Amino acid sequence: MPHALGGLPIEAAAPQDPTHSMTHSMMPTSMTNQPTHCARAALMACVALLWASASGAEATRVAKVAPPSHSIAANAASEESASEPVEVVERLHAALIDMMKRSKDLDFAGRYAFIEPVIAESFDLEFMGSKSVGRHWTKLDPQKQAQWIDRFTKLTTSNYAGRFVEFDGEHFETIGQVPAQRSTQMVQTKLYVPSDQDVLLYYRLMETERGWRIIDILMKGTVSELALRRSEYSTLLKRDGYDKLTRAIDEKIEELSKGS
């Protein structure tokens, strides 16, 4: 599935190692406008950063229903950072479902405030943001690096707040957890979509000083969102420069905020 940023089409690539060198890169396909159900599946990302959608999902383990999702977002930031990888992913899923079920009572600003602490506790946004621009990261001065991480974080959060606005009975299932490259863990999940094709979503997590954090989402278990973003952003940085890239990001954030 092609993805685009500022009119630049990017074809989905096989995942590369985000903790090392990547040939294509990054998360919830944020710069695309796709049909609701396909976009939602792609984001079940998302983030940030994974990652476009507008429906819902209900967090469950295999043969085990998740606890009630009330006050998920309010409590997420206070959860112990030592949570295991599966717990991090399931907490994200549960919060997304909770937000979508409340969508009739929440506008974009309300959804943004609701999901922001969960995104912060689930993703290593600084790591992902730095990898999303590839080798260009070291060429940015400290001020621009800080600005980029801020924009990257806002875009990732805006994607979830702007796309996940309905609940139609979808639900998540956690399939399992397996070791991945460079001491990371892969949490394998499936998004069940009523009247549509189910989607495999694999979350790659890295252990940080703050606990396990998501650093990539693999659509269909193979397509790295981190790799896609790096391909998009690196190309734009090389072709148009930092200022045009950040303007494109700002415009996308504005567009998402006006979506509801």
Residue 199: how many CB atoms within 10 A of its CB?
A: 20
Alpha-carbon dihedral 113, 117, 120, 122, rounded to 10 degrees: -120
pLDDT at 206 over 60: yes
Residue 84 within a domain: yes
Residue 70 within a domain: yes
How many structural domains does the chain have?
1
Q: Write the pLDDT tens digit of every residue in 155-183.
A: 999 999 998 888 889 889 999 999 999 99
Residue 256 within a domain: no
Alpha-helical (H) ranges within the chain are 36-43, 72-76, 85-101, 108-122, 125-132, 142-163, 225-240, 242-257
Who contacts 48 (Cβ-Cβ below 8 Å, separation ≥6)? 27, 28, 30, 119, 123, 125, 128, 152, 153, 155, 156, 157, 159, 160
Q: Write the pLDDT tens digit of every residue in 117-152.
A: 999 999 999 999 999 999 999 999 999 999 999 999
Q: Which amino acid is residue 211, in one-letter code? A: G
Q: What mean pLDDT is reported for the chain?
A: 76
Question: Where residue 111 sits, what CATH number does that domain have?
Answer: 3.10.450.710
Say what the pLDDT of residue 189 is.
Answer: 97
Residue 148 within a domain: yes
Residue 43 within a domain: yes
List the structure tokens of 121.
Answer: 């506790």
Say what the pLDDT of residue 260 is.
Answer: 58
| CA–CA distance, 119 with 213 (Å, rounded to integer) | 10
Who contacts 11 (Cβ-Cβ below 8 Å, separation ≥6)? 2, 3
Percent of the chain past pLDDT 70, that is, above it, reads 68
Q: Write the pLDDT tens digit of every residue in 209-239.
A: 999 999 999 988 889 999 999 999 999 999 9
Say what the pLDDT of residue 242 is.
Answer: 96
pTM: 0.73
Q: Which domain holds residue 35?
A: 3-249
Residue 92 within a domain: yes
